[in-house]
Amino acid sequence: MDLKIPSTGQKRLVIIGGGFGGIELTKRLKNQDIQVVMLDKHNYHCFQPLLYQVATGGLEPGSIAYPLRKFMQDIPNGIFRLAEVRNIDAVNQKIHTDIGDLNYDYLVIATGSTTNFFKFSKEVSGKMMQMKDIPQALNLRSFILENFEEALLTYDESKKEELINISIVGGGPTGVELAGALGEMRKNILPKDYPEIDFTKMQIHLFESGDRLLGAMHPENSAKVLKYVKDFGVEVWLNTMVTDFDGDVLTTADGKKVKCETLIWTAGVKGNPVEGFAPETIAGGNRISVDEYCKIKGYENIYAIGDVASMVQEKYPKGHPMVAPVAIQQGELVADNILAQLKGKAPKPFVYFDKGSMATVGRNKAVMEAKGIKMGGFIAWLAWLFVHVMSLVGFRNKITVTLGWLYNYFTYDRTLRLIIRPFKHKEE
């Protein structure tokens, strides 16, 4: 059945995904002579870089989510549909979704990425926690808190160890920031919440298969972050692959065994393409091969942007990093290129402007680097706060995140330790 969409006589662009790329692209096409239809399986935009704060009770989901319909209120030529895309029929220029079919004149795939569990079986990866969207972050929050509750009940010291230990796999920004937040909780909050548990016995492990944390940053910053994380009592294992997990104990390639029920996998992401493209279109990391205009190779009117797109350029032989600034800049570019295509003009190639990168580890500590400048400590931390608040969509979210952080900073607290939807012992 065809999806009900008002016809405006304009050409129709369909954007699949309301992430950083999708919303930037839409903004740029505001009031242009083209109908913009955005599809997303959620009705909100999620600010993924702060998901770890939702998982650790520092922020409410509503502070990092922004309703896509509210965003669309400002786009008179925009339409939103809550839909999960099944596949693309490029021959007939049609998209099949769970709510019906839809024709397009132009199509942009902006579906982002999902967790990459690599060779782990579903059985093993199903026991690991992940943190790519809000429901997953809330599940993680519930899971950790439920484990502490359970730890209070057992007389078995080995089981208690399993329940309170937490392992994080992956020493990128997500792993590092999460380790810092958990280290902070262990120090300032958990001993007060659970006075019956001896938190000096709680282990937080951070596993990284490479030889340093934050492999994408300068080695000096890696060293700084390693120190920050260790200052929080996190046990860091470099050059260490996690090879198995049975829900109670993880095993590393060198035979080490660590007891933990909570294993958070942040060690990889992969593109999340939609079905319907020729197999040769899919490049490494399950991303869609695009040319320098973000056009999918072999298609005239289909683009891909952000995490799901892989554009090989001289400085980026494996494609660009899977971060928000790439998605935003490609969103801008593709808006311009589609308008150019509509008018029969030449498209512009993508030039990535790298604004630098940053990561924080608990209060007052962060690292950042941009244009050859490297910085750590308090100033970098303030910069981290500022950049993240300003990147949030919506005035209300900027304010609630700022105030939430001020509160957490001065009280050394994170008050959102709520098990609203039990994960471990499902209630409903």
Nearer to its own copies (CB atom), residue 82 or residue 389: 82
The interface with its own copies within residues 82-101 (CB under 8 A) comprises 82, 99-100
Distance CA 405, CA 382 (A): 12
Distance CA 283, CA 185 (A): 40
Nearer to its own copies (CB atom), residue 41 or residue 212: 41
Nearer to its own copies (CB atom), residue 58 or residue 175: 58
Retrieve residue 127's tokens: 């026991």
Distance CA 296, CA 282 (A): 10
Contact status: 73 vs its own copies (CB under 8 A): yes
From 24, 161, 162, 177, the catalytic residue = 177
Nearer to its own copies (CB atom), residue 6 or residue 344: 6
Only segment of 257-265, 273-281, 340-348, 393-401 that touches its own copies (CB under 8 A): 393-401
Strand bridging mode 94-97 / 100-103 = antiparallel
HEC readout, 128-172: CECCCCHHHHHHHHHHHHHHHHHHCCCCCHHHHHHHHCEEEECCC
Contact status: 211 vs its own copies (CB under 8 A): no
Nearer to its own copies (CB atom), residue 102 or residue 213: 102
Exactly one of 127, 256, 417, 424 binds its own copies (CB under 8 A); that residue is 417
The interface with its own copies within residues 28-57 (CB under 8 A) comprises 42-44
Contact status: 196 vs its own copies (CB under 8 A): yes
Exactly one of 118, 407, 409, 412 binds its own copies (CB under 8 A); that residue is 407
Cross-strand bridge partners of residue 37: 14, 79
Rounded to a whole number of angstroms, the minimum distance from the CB of residue 390 to its own copies is: 18
Distance CA 252, CA 274 (A): 34
- The type of residue at 226 is L
Exactly one of 192, 201, 227, 345 binds its own copies (CB under 8 A); that residue is 192
Nearer to its own copies (CB atom), residue 82 or residue 387: 82
All residues at 6 or more sequence positions from 203 whose CB lies less than 8 Å from its CB, including other chains: 161, 165, 166, 235, 258, 260
Rounded to a whole number of angstroms, the minimum distance from the CB of residue 296 to its own copies is: 28
Q: For helices 134-151 and 157-164, what crossing angle results, to 10°?
A: 160
220 carries an active-site annotation? no
Tell me which long-range contacts 419-422 makes (C-beta under 8 A, separation of at least 24).
419/141, 419/142, 419/145, 419/146, 419/149, 420/138, 420/142, 421/138, 421/139, 421/142, 422/142, 422/146
Contact status: 3 vs its own copies (CB under 8 A): yes
Contact status: 157 vs its own copies (CB under 8 A): no
Residues classed as catalytic: 177
Contact set with its own copies (CB under 8 A): 3-4, 6, 42-44, 60-63, 65-67, 69-70, 73, 79, 81-82, 99-100, 134-135, 138, 145-146, 149, 152-155, 192-194, 196, 394, 396-397, 399-400, 403-404, 407, 411, 413, 415-421, 427-428
